[in-house]
Chain A
Amino acid sequence: MAKRYFEDFKAGTVSVYGPLLVTRDEIIAFAKDYDPQPLHLDEAAARMTPLGGLCASGWHTCCLMMRMAADGFVNDSHSMGSPGVDEVKWLAPLRPDTQIRLRVTVLETRVSNSKPDRGFVKHQFEVLDPQDTVLMQLTSPLMIARRQ
């Protein structure tokens, strides 16, 4: 399939990608590297926190979102990266051995004013558990090359 250009993204489109199984070992490995807090490292210590048990670092959830997006559609598009993220909401904890999916909604598309070779496609990303609970919601524009 040919890679998608900016013009191929349409506001209102909803897609679901994944699934991805997030194991306890992966949660702990990420925490050791990037967020070594008891809540993400140690079951006994995590039980004493307000969240009541081990859960993934919120940054880990962001990274898993990126992985599902890259595998799902970003690498099949003429992606030029992203200028940032408008907002991230960590709504519910990501627990060990949860199978997650990514729901992606195209919110709006606009051509860049300063660089006419690209456009911004604003996406809403929602990381879902098997019951469709939204664990994380994130809105971010992706830069996609325009068809020349």
Chain B
Amino acid sequence: MKLFQDIKVGERFEVGAHTFTAEDIKSFARRFDPQPFHLDEEAARHSHFGGLVASGWHTAAAWMRLMVDHRDRADAEMRARGEGVGRHGGSPGFRELKWMKPVYAGDTIGYVTEVTDLRTSQSHPRWGIMKFRTVGTNQNGDAVISFVSTVFVERRQ
């Protein structure tokens, strides 16, 4: 991740895409969200969704994985160019998470994350506070998930 001062509002990251197979959906649901429409095709067909759908937490967690991989790649490239790499100091949370449309078995969701706000922490001058909005879009161009996260990013001293 860049140092805080090198990040601009409006900067966009094409984080990557994940395809949610039926097996993937059911295995996540068995661990964390065992509702019938996430667990079983037959039960899901009879639900208001009309077919097997991914847990909303699965759709969110898949973004986190892609984001970490994306950041690790970007950090390696910056180090190779001799540029300063900032640590990130964890996240206090997120807001306005919307699951706009179901994610069905076989759907591929592409995630884009955009910086929306940057400010310095009053209490922790070593860190800046970055807010960013993530939108996940399916193969038909429909947005299926969005949320606004906050993360602490190291400042150049």
Residues of A with Cβ closer than 8 Å to B?
33-37, 39, 49-51, 57-59, 62-64, 66-67, 70-71, 74-75, 79-90
Can you name 11 extra interface pairs (CB under 8 A) apart from A80-B48, A81-B56, A82-B56?
Answer: A34-B62, A35-B61, A39-B90, A58-B93, A67-B34, A75-B35, A81-B35, A84-B98, A87-B96, A89-B93, A90-B90
Residues of B with Cβ closer than 8 Å to A?
31-37, 47-49, 53, 55-57, 60-62, 64-65, 68-69, 89-100, 102, 147
For the complex of A and B, list the 6 residue pairs with the smallest distance between their C-beta atoms, beginning with the closest: A63-B32, A85-B97, A84-B98, A34-B61, A89-B93, A88-B93
Please tell me if the beta carbons of A58 and B91 are within 8 angstroms of each other in the complex: yes
| Given known A-B contacts A80-B48, A82-B99, A90 and B93 have beta carbons under 8 A apart | yes
By beta carbon, the residue of chain B nearest A64 is B32
Please tell me if the beta carbons of A59 and B64 are within 8 angstroms of each other in the complex: yes
Alpha-carbon gap, A10 to B48, bound state (A):
24
The binding surface of chain B is classed by DSSP as: mixed
Q: Chain A's nearest CB lies how many Å from the CB of B63? A: 9
Alpha-carbon gap, A34 to B55, bound state (A):
14
Please tell me if the beta carbons of A36 and B68 are within 8 angstroms of each other in the complex: yes
Please tell me if the beta carbons of B31 and A63 are within 8 angstroms of each other in the complex: yes
Alpha-carbon gap, A70 to B28, bound state (A):
13
Alpha-carbon gap, A39 to B64, bound state (A):
14
Which single member of A34, A39, A70 contacts B34 (CB below 8 Å)? A70
| Given known A-B contacts A75-B34, A83-B99, A89-B93, A66 and B68 have beta carbons under 8 A apart | no
Which single member of A37, A49, A63, A82 contacts B68 (CB below 8 Å)? A37
Please tell me if the beta carbons of A67 and B89 are within 8 angstroms of each other in the complex: no
Q: Chain B's nearest CB lies how many Å from the CB of A7? A: 18
Please tell me if the beta carbons of A88 and B32 are within 8 angstroms of each other in the complex: no
Please tell me if the beta carbons of B95 and A63 are within 8 angstroms of each other in the complex: no
Please tell me if the beta carbons of B99 and A67 are within 8 angstroms of each other in the complex: no
Please tell me if the beta carbons of B95 and A86 are within 8 angstroms of each other in the complex: yes
Alpha-carbon gap, A49 to B37, bound state (A):
39
**B residues in contact with A89, CB < 8 Å:** 92-93
**A residues in contact with B90, CB < 8 Å:** 39, 49-51, 90
* Interface CB pairs A-B, < 8 A, 15: A35-B64, A35-B68, A36-B69, A57-B64, A59-B57, A63-B32, A63-B57, A66-B32, A67-B33, A70-B34, A79-B35, A81-B99, A85-B147, A88-B95, A90-B91
